[in-house]
Amino acid sequence: MNTGNIAERKNPGLSRLGYRLLDNAVTRALASPLSVDDYLSQFNPLWSVSEVRGRITRTVRETADAVTLHIRPNQHWQGHQAGQHLVLGVEIGGVRYTRCFSISSAPATQGEITVSVKRNGNGLVSNYLVDKAQAGEILHLSQARGDFLLPQDEAPLLMISGGSGITPLMAMLRQRAALGGSGSVVFVHYSNSYADTLFYGELRALAARCDWLDLRLVIGQGTPIGEDRRGLFSIEQLDELVPDASARTALLCGPPPLMERVNEAFTARGWARPAQEQFQVKLAAVAGEGQVRFVKSGREASGEAAPNLLELAEGQGLNPPSGCRMGICHGCKCRVQEGQVRDLRNGEVRTVRDEDIQLCVHAAAGSVQLEL
Amino acid sequence: MNAAVSASALAQTTTPVPRGWRHLSAEQVEAFGADIEAVRREVMESLGERDARYIRRILKTQRYSEIAGRGLLFLGFLPPAWLAGTALLSLSKILENMEIGHNVMHGQWDWLKDPALNSATYDWDNTCPAEQWKHSHNYMHHTYTNIVGKDRDVGYGILRMSDDQPWHPVYLAQPAYNWVLAGLFQWGVALHDLEFERVGKDKSWTEVRQQLRQIWKKSSKQVLKDYLLFPALAGPGFLFTLAGNVTANLVRNLWSYAVIFCGHFTDGVEMFSEEDIVGETRARWYLRQLLGSSNLEGGRAFHILTGHLSHQIEHHLFPDMPAHRYAEIGSKVQAICEKYDLPYNTGSLPRQFGTVMKRILRLSLPGRRKPALA
């Protein structure tokens, strides 16, 4: 706990060497049974021997319903590749909430990353980040993850995005703009209106500046300008906007209805399915069944009482650790002693025994014994 | 059981202070339970930022006092530094065990979703492994509170604290060895879940060996840290730091012993038998928790230092409610008790502790504690 000699170093944190000195068998024994972090964090919430944390340096309003958070992560951040996402934890009313967001900045942007958030209905976290998040706030971060990446070759690309699904593609576009490259890119983006379009000004400026980029905005309301269009995605419209679509490598990210429509159209044409990132997981709307027994707390509940095991546990007053609630972060993993569960992502029912499952994307499909 | 019924019935006719609950009809008991439940709901629905700020302030206070205390002990050759360092370390150990550890492990802060305050992962600075504590305390003691033969907190298997425990000559010495338990309290707590009186009967030696290994692993970390590593870091001040750390652990032991013994062994607290809980409803469980617990009066700092176990009644009614809320609902619970003519056992620490000492003395001798009522 001797932090005096490294205290003069300011944010974002201590040097890697400093952390290594603070995290060894002796310091751990001195802090035991607490962790070294339990002490370090009291001096500066960004200090940690291993966790990635970041501070919001500024917030930029993109549209009435969207904001970009500029985040300076501490020394543990290992960088990201364009198209990846991270799990972000934020405290709202003292309670930590965890959600997944795409990183919208290109890699290696002066020690900062950006995350662009669009209001998601009445969603507590997105509304908080859009309306209330301020510079100075501390966020808990994961390392970047995901394999939705810019293809390595120089093949021509077709990027299709909708709404806030633009964020990972924007990171790719920014990277292409920063590093150059010869392959051409057609970028088709769907949004409600121009005013609702994230990064509108930057997209127009990029399109004007870069001859490898063709920008096609498709809006739901208002009068389209120039090559832009109005309406929903259709294969006919795509044929018209991008005549050589079949010759391009497609990348797709957007709300589930758009992604479904694009995937169906591509399949119907016999084209390769686009590389894609799904952000709103579409889960089977099958009610749970059977009886769930929470072994440690001695509670029991009918599987029908909630759409998934996580909410079922919470309905019983239990508070298992949890995170993204969409099957991404594995924060809610819990041991099933025995039981039948349905994976809500594909509707599959399986029998598990002594296995860790993600509670948020599983429902009971028979009797289940959970170690909670 | 019949003896107990007539005892409390008699008590009712001879004293204006309400004792027991047998004047209540089954419906009244359920109504009492509903009133208590309403208090719980109101608080649990209002949990938020204020509570989060509170526990984080306590965490900060505890960590800073520990660091300052251990730092000062490096200057332990100066008597004022030794005294201040030992006092701060004692304070930090008390805060960590009582207001943080005990309460976090009850799940009071799980709703914050903060991994550092989660009951599943938190481990306290005590020789008792968290896993065993959650079994012997959260489950056995809080479920079977004051049921002789079931709740091992009734005398911890070595003291005779209830008339219903059969007397044995060993208990003649309990007024003395009780103080040994007080001084080594965390070690008593550490060995508690071994349930050594069951060993060789319905508990296997293998299970005991496993638990002992766990206890060894956990307690050796505290021993290493407090009695070897920090003293060694002090170099020539080894003995000063060692003495400070031993003292801090002792102070915490004595304090937690006093607070905890005042929770269930004061005068007027009721003991129960296993028949009492057959078909027990939630409302009757509430009733048993109320009758089996007693409070301590004091200021805000006092309550914090007891981990709010000074509100033992409220804690036993609502073990998973953030403890700093107990003080706020105490008057509501007391008003409900008045409404149903139920006792609400409270008093100052010296008064309540005095009655505990009296009980330990009296029950070291054979016979029942209140022969007049039997």
Residues A163 and A233 in one domain: yes
Decide if A38 and B116 are in contact by the 8 Å CB cutoff.
yes
- The answer to whether residues A93 and A192 belong to one domain is no
Q: Please give the average per-residue pLDDT across A279-303, as a whole number.
A: 80
Of the candidates A29, A318, A319, the beta carbon closest to that of B225 is on A29
DSSP letters along B87-151, please?
HHHHHHHHIIIIIIIIHHHTTTTGGG--GGG-TTT---SSSS-HHHHIIIIIIIIHHSTTBTTT-
Residue A73 lies in a domain: yes
Nearest CB neighbour to B110, from listed A30, A32, A319? A319
Residue A254 has pLDDT above 70, yes or no: yes
Torsion, Cα A19 A21 A26 A31, to 10 degrees, reads: -30
Write down the pLDDT at residue A179.
86
> Which of A256, A278, A300 delimits the end of a domain?
A278
Q: Which among B107, B115, B218 has the least Cβ separation from residue A321?
A: B115
Q: Is the pLDDT of residue A175 over 50?
A: yes
The Cα A109–Cα A101 span in angstroms is 18
Peptide bond just before A33 cis, omega within 30 deg: yes
CA-based nearest residue in chain A for residue B108: A319
- Note whether residue A146 is domain-resident: no
Chain B positions in Cβ-Cβ contact with residue A32 (cut-off 8 Å):
221-222, 224-225
CATH for A126: 2.40.30.10
Q: Which amino acid is at B50?
A: R
**Residue A299: both structure tokens together:** 């509670």
In a shared domain, residues A313 and A273: no
Beta carbons of B115 and A34 less than 8 Å apart: no
Distance CA A54, CA A76 (A): 10
Residues A210, A269, single domain; the answer is: yes
Give the minimum alpha-carbon distance from B49 to chain A in angstroms, rounded to a whole number. Answer: 4
Q: Are residues A116 and A197 in the same domain?
A: no
pLDDT given at position B195: 86
Q: Is A33 on the interface with B (CB under 8 A)?
A: yes
What is the rounded distance in angstroms from the CA atom of residue A298 to the CA atom of residue B17?
37
Tokens at B287, concatenated: 């009733």
Residue range A30-58, pLDDT digits in tens: 999 999 999 999 999 999 998 999 999 99
Find the domain containing A117 and state its range: 52-141
**Domain count for chain A:** 4
Confidence band, pLDDT 50/70/90 cuts, at residue A319: confident
**Res A1 pLDDT > 50:** no
CB spacing of B63 vs A39 below 8 angstroms: yes
Contact A278, A286 (CB under 8 A): no
Query: A192 and A244: one domain?
Result: yes
Structure tokens belonging to residue A326? 């969409």
Contact status, residue B98 vs residue B257, Cβ threshold 8 Å = no
Q: What is the mean pLDDT of each run of 10 residues along chain B (374 residues)?
A: 40 45 90 96 95 97 98 97 98 98 94 90 94 89 90 87 91 95 93 85 89 95 97 97 98 97 92 87 93 96 98 96 96 96 96 95 84 43
Q: Is the pLDDT of residue A108 over 50?
A: yes
Residue B281's alpha-carbon distances to A78, B23, B278, B290, in angstroms, are 55, 17, 9, 14
Query: What's the average model confidence in pLDDT over A163-187?
Result: 92
pLDDT exceeds 70 at position A14: no
Which residues 184-223 in chain A show a CB within 8 A of chain B? none
Within 10 angstroms of residue A7's Cβ, the number of other Cβ atoms is: 11
DSSP string, A250-268: EEEEE-HHHHHHHHHHHHH
* Closest residue in B to A38 (Cα–Cα): B116
Nearest CA in chain B to A35: B116
CB contact under 8 A, B125 and A33: yes
Residues in chain A with CB shorter than 8 Å from the CB of B107 are 319
A136 with A162, same domain: the answer is no
Residues B53, B214 contacting (CB under 8 angstroms)? no
Percent of chain A with pLDDT over 70: 93
According to DSSP H, which parts of B265-325 are helical? 282-291, 300-305, 312-317
DSSP type of residue A191: E
Cβ–Cβ below 8 Å for A95 and B221: no
Please indicate, yes or no, whether residues A319 and A347 belong to a single structural domain of this protein. yes
Mean pLDDT in residue range A9-23: 68
Q: Which residue of A has its CA nearest to B57?
A: A42
Please give the structure tokens belonging to residue B232: 């060694």
Q: What angle do CA B287, B291, B297 make, to 5 degrees?
A: 120
* Binary contact (B221, A29; C-beta < 8 A): yes
Chain B residues bordering chain A (beta-carbon distance below 8 Å): 48-53, 56, 59-60, 63-64, 67, 70, 107, 110-116, 118, 120, 123-125, 218, 221-222, 224-225, 229-230, 320
CB within 8 Å: B225 and A94: no
Domain stops at, among A77, A112, A141 = A141
Q: Alpha-carbon distance A47 to A41, whole Å?
A: 5
Out of A26, A33, A42, closest to residue B60 by CB: A42
Contact criterion met (CB below 8 Å) for B242 and B82:
no
Among B48, B116, B224, the residue with its CB nearest the CB of A94 is B48
Nearest CA in chain A to B121: A321
Q: A212 to chain B nearest CA, in Å?
A: 47
Q: Mark yes or no for CB contact A322/B120 under 8 Å.
A: no
Which residues does residue A294 pair with via DSSP β-bridges, in sequence order? A299, A370
What does the longest C-alpha to C-alpha distance in chain B come to? Answer: 69
Task: Verify whether the Cβ–Cβ distance A30 to B60 is below 8 Å.
Answer: no
Same domain, A14 and A65: no
pLDDT (mean) for A191-210:
95
Q: pTM of this prediction?
A: 0.86
Cα A282 → chain centroid: 15
Q: Which of A79, A109, A141 is the last residue of a domain?
A: A141
CB within 8 Å: A94 and B49: yes
Residue in this structure with the two tokens 């949990």, named with its chain if needed:
B47
Give the E-state strand segments of A3-146 in sequence order. Answer: 52-63, 66-73, 85-92, 95-102, 113-118, 138-141
B114 to A96: CB separation less than 8 angstroms, yes or no = yes
Alpha-carbon torsion A278, A279, A283, A288, what sign?
Answer: positive
Domain assignment present for A89: yes
| Residue A283 within a domain | no
Asked if A321's CB is within 8 angstroms of B118's CB, the reply is: yes
Cα A21 from Cα A49, distance rounded (Å)? 9
Q: Are B320 and B106 in contact (CB under 8 A)?
A: yes
For residue B66, what is the nearest residue in chain A, using CA coordinates? A39
Q: Which of B13, B18, B14 is closest to B290 using CA atoms?
A: B18
* Residue A159: count of CB within 10 angstroms of its CB: 26
What pLDDT, on the 0 to 100 scale, is given for residue A284? 67
Contact between residue A368 and residue A303 where contact means Cβ atoms under 8 Å apart: yes
Query: If DSSP codes are grouped into helix, strand and coil, which group holds residue A308?
Result: coil
Is residue A366 domain-shared with residue A312, that is, in the same domain? yes
Distance of CA B223 to the CA centre of its chain: 23
Pairwise pLDDT comparison (A128 vs B138), residue with the higher score: A128
Residues of chain A found within 8 Å of residue B52, distances taken between Cβ atoms = 91, 93-95
Residues 6 or more apart from A126 whose CB is under 8 A from it?
A99, A117, A118, A119, A120
The CATH code of the domain that includes A331 is 3.10.20.30
Task: Please indicate, yes or no, whether residues A72 and A32 belong to a single structural domain of this protein.
Answer: no
Task: State which amino acid sits at residue B238.
Answer: F
Q: Both A249 and A187 in a single domain?
A: yes
